[in-house]
Amino acid sequence: MLNFILLQAEGAGGGILGQVFLFGSIILIMYFFMIRPQQKKQKETKNFLEEVKKGDNIVTIGGIHGKIYAVEGDTITLELDKGFKIKIEKSAVSLEFTKRASGTK
């Protein structure tokens, strides 16, 4: 009888180990398919916003197309037409829309 109880305890311990392994593998899968690509996209967007310069054509997250007239810290003066300029925040520039408008991926 004591032998039977010990065997059941060992079986339960093996199940817990299997569950921990399964849970750990789910976390790894989530990291590689969700968290890592998001971090890569944020880094790419940050680099893009740091590299924008006068004369670049951009698109804002609101869909406004224009050419950068001036960059001053965290703000950009965007020229929409000759003599028509607006001031926007750098965070309002969309990397995805800008790539799509310029035809690059």
Tens-place pLDDT, residues 44-101:
999 999 999 999 999 999 999 999 999 998 999 999 989 899 999 999 999 888 888 8
Q: What is the pTM of this model?
A: 0.66
Tens-place pLDDT, residues 8-38:
444 445 688 889 999 999 999 999 899 999 9
What are the C-alpha distances in Å from 77 to residues 20, 43, 86, 89, 98?
Answer: 54, 24, 6, 9, 16
Domain ranges of the chain: 1-51, 54-105
Pick the CATH number of 54-105 from 3.90.320, 2.30.30, 1.10.1610, 2.60.40: 2.30.30
Percent of the chain that is helix, strand, coil (3-state, to 5): 60, 25, 15
Q: Which helix (H) or strand (E) holds 43?
A: helix 36-51
Using the 8-state DSSP alphabet, how is residue 90 labeled? G
